[in-house]
A and B are shown apart, each in its own frame.
Chain A
Amino acid sequence: MSDVVLRGVGMHPFGRFDGKSAIEMGCDAAREALADAGLAWKDIDALYCGHMYAGTGAGHKIATLLGASGLPIVNVENACSSGGTAIVMARHALASREYENVLVVGIEKMPRGFMDMDYFEPWRQRIGHAVNPAQFAFAIRRHMHEYGITERQLALVAEKNHAHSVHNDRAMYRKPIGVEEVLASRMIVDPLRLLMLCTPNEGAAAAVLTHRAVASGEVRLIGHGLKTATRRQSIGEHMPTDAPAGDGVESVTRRAAAQPYERAGVGPDDLDVVELQDTDSGTEIIATEELGLCARGEGGRLVESGATRLGGRTPVNPSGGLLSKGEPVGASGLGQVFEIVNQLRGRCGPRQVPDARIGLTHTLGAGGNCCTLLFERC
């Protein structure tokens, strides 16, 4: 039986790198992934490149730096889910036996501050309705109203992820930050404060996927989900202008997680480690519920219990998450893959989750895209 094996991973640190292009960072991440895989560039049959801001032919420019070999190249723009989507596309291509070895790279170099996105119509920008984090704020404000999530629980998410980041030399911020410091930081979009929101930044990450029988100790991709939000979801990263009233709508995260859980016969209780889209503290709390790590409305109490902290039942964002790494949107999904694959291979040093065998990544982005990837060490 053949599998999609995560043969090698690489990551350019996330942060600010003046004078270095996204293409150059992507090239560094690709070379590390190739070395980790024990493969040469000439062994790669196809390249998928996830990005949002890098312009025309980003993957082609990376290939030119590595030495244009004539291979097929696909550039993938799916906002925050670009990297995850590129892995899904690579998985399909490998499963169809089109290729043997595929390189997937995610890159980004973003402006500072609120994202200026052409996703929104100009009139929405002019009247102040084109604000990404406002959508995060809408979601957690309503959740606080319905379930009593507290500001302190929101601050705890940031405190936890920053505590994890101390051990990750590829994260942008690597200092512990206390709950009181988070609660004292500037309000940006109520109820979310500066230290509850991730920083748009720069970086790259890469993975080499090979189609062959998995060997003992290797990591394989055992499932994925790729969905978009529906019209019935009044809040979300599809940033709707309207929605029908009414509750009980299945979130895009819940639907994107159901697919790999069902197909791989894995449940949320089986997960040893999770990297999820903590663009903000509220999104992490809601995502832990929607991925099934706890019941709906229990996400605040879950982080409070320590279950999602390193040493807890299911550590969430052991890398420090986007809150510590920052979010270079095209690269962030592959940054999660870098962490989960290294966790499953036992390579994470002081932030290692003991004997991690099954891990999940989760990205959620503009357009209402949600992508989950499920990995297993054999």
Chain B
Amino acid sequence: MKTAAASLPPAVQPGLFATAPATLLGGRCEACGTLRFPHRNLCPRCQSTQVAAVPLSRHGTVYTYTIVRSKPPGYLGAVPYAFGLVELPEGLRVASTLTAHDLETIAVGDKVEFELITLGEGDHAVLSYAYRRREKR
């Protein structure tokens, strides 16, 4: 799992994230303000269809996580990898891949920062997203 270089592979799914600057894209309901991820043109709280795509915070904390050690069906990347829920300051928790110098040291409450990652090799490579654990000093 490498940080994406200058020439980017195709996004695994359109609309999940922006590349410049790199952020997740959520949906903010223009009627009631509810945030969701990923963006959809339907508010899950008031069912308004006026929902704007908005960048989500690049910084958050690990709410919970796991390390997946066997390759699940359809997964393009390498194992082990960390996967968790990141709590963002705007009051949303999002499911995200987690990256770190040493996955084994990830803990609940760790501070994380958004990044784009490449999964898979060559023609099968796709661009995806992660929150990287900020290394403790």
Which B residues lie within 8 Å of A145 (CB)?
Answer: 64, 108-109
Inter-chain contact B66/A141, CB cutoff 8 Å:
yes
Inter-chain contact B67/A126, CB cutoff 8 Å:
no
User: How far, in Å, is B68 (CB) from chain A's closest CB?
Assistant: 6
Number of interface residues of A (CB under 8 A): 37
Judge whether B122 is part of the interface by a CB distance below 8 angstroms.
no
- Known contacts: A131-B68, A131-B83, A244-B92. The answer to whether A126 contacts B12 by CB under 8 A is yes
Which A residues lie within 8 Å of B63 (CB)?
Answer: 142, 234, 245
Task: Name the CB-closest residue of A to B88.
Answer: A245
Which A residues lie within 8 Å of B77 (CB)?
Answer: 127-128
- Determine, out of A74-82, A185-193, A294-302, A370-378, the stretch whose residues face the partner at the interface: A185-193
Judge whether A305 is part of the interface by a CB distance below 8 angstroms.
no
Q: Which of B35, B81, B84 contacts A138 (CB 8 A)?
A: B84
* Sample of 14 more A-B contacts, CB < 8 Å, known A128-B97, A129-B95, A190-B66: A113-B73, A116-B73, A126-B75, A128-B83, A138-B66, A138-B85, A139-B64, A141-B65, A141-B66, A142-B64, A145-B64, A234-B93, A243-B92, A245-B88
14 chain-A/chain-B pairs, Cβ below 8 angstroms: A125-B74, A127-B77, A127-B126, A131-B68, A137-B66, A141-B64, A189-B69, A190-B66, A190-B69, A234-B93, A235-B64, A242-B36, A242-B93, A245-B91
Residues of chain A having any CB pair with chain B under 8 Å: 113-114, 116, 121-123, 125-131, 134, 137-139, 141-142, 145, 186-192, 231, 234-235, 240-246
Task: Name the CB-closest residue of B to A120.
Answer: B74
Inter-chain contact A187/B65, CB cutoff 8 Å:
no
Judge whether B8 is part of the interface by a CB distance below 8 angstroms.
no
Contact residues on B (Cβ < 8 Å of other chain), bracket:
35 or more
Which B residues lie within 8 Å of A134 (CB)?
Answer: 66, 68, 83
Inter-chain contact B87/A242, CB cutoff 8 Å:
no
Which B residues lie within 8 Å of A125 (CB)?
Answer: 72-75
- Known contacts: A141-B65, A189-B66, A189-B67. The answer to whether A122 contacts B74 by CB under 8 A is yes
Inter-chain contact B93/A243, CB cutoff 8 Å:
yes
Which A residues lie within 8 Å of B44 (CB)?
Answer: 231
Inter-chain contact B69/A127, CB cutoff 8 Å:
no
Which B residues lie within 8 Å of A137 (CB)?
Answer: 66
- Rounded to whole angstroms, the CA-CA distance of A188 and B84 in the bound complex is 15
User: How far, in Å, is A38 (CB) from chain B's closest CB?
Assistant: 45
Inter-chain contact A241/B94, CB cutoff 8 Å:
yes
Inter-chain contact B74/A141, CB cutoff 8 Å:
no
Which A residues lie within 8 Å of B91 (CB)?
Answer: 244-246
Which B residues lie within 8 Å of A123 (CB)?
Answer: 12-13, 16
